[in-house]
Amino acid sequence: MSDIPTRLRVVAIGGSLRENSCCYLALEYLTNLLIDLGCEARILDLRLMNLPFCNGDNQDPRPDYPAVAELRRAVSSAHALILATPEYHGGISGVLKNTLDLLSGEHLRGKIAGIVSVLGGVSNSNALNDLGRILRCCHAWVLPEYIAIARSHSVFLTGAIDDADLRKRFNNFAHSLVWSAARIAGCNTLVA
């Protein structure tokens, strides 16, 4: 029996607690693309998880917070991750930073990670740079492609992405994530 997976497992995590969050709309769009490409893709919704503030003890199983074990299991078993964050005060959201702090290099090492930021104003790369640096410090492989969605409130007005260029960027991002993760995981299903 081969240890080579036949389907890539992708876990997406959004760094927003807001209802109708543009982070989660972007992740839903991406996970649907990944499913169409033959991946197992799921979103871990931090709005529904009861995660504590990180206390710096990654060995603590946190029995009062079973969501910590669920988070760690999901990330550990994934071949790739997608992390989406709103940009707050020029950086990533506190909820996403706390979630990453509850993980360690043991959970993130060797994972392909795609990153997405949503902004209310004009596009910049502050949150993307922060998120990429954090992931690299945890030995994840950050895709060179990323998505920064400026004026995100106007992008998802209809529930669909009307901008053809942005749809193309999402498509390229999904293909790059699958292509990279398949090579690192030694997966049998590759995307051309």
For residue range 23-55, list pLDDT tens digits in order.
999 999 999 999 999 999 999 999 999 999 998
Instruction: Please give the Cα distance from 15 to 181 (Å, whole number).
Output: 22
Classify domain 9-185 at the CATH superfamily level.
Flavodoxin domain (3.40.50.360)
pLDDT at 184 over 80: yes
pLDDT at 157 over 90: no
Sheet holding 141-149, edge to edge: 40-44, 9-14, 80-86, 112-118, 141-149
Contact criterion met (CB below 8 Å) for 154 and 118: no
The bridge status of strand 9-14 relative to strand 80-86 is parallel
For residue range 77-92, list pLDDT tens digits in order.
999 999 999 999 989 9
pLDDT at 188: 53
Contact criterion met (CB below 8 Å) for 51 and 102: yes
Q: Where are the domains of the chain?
A: 9-185
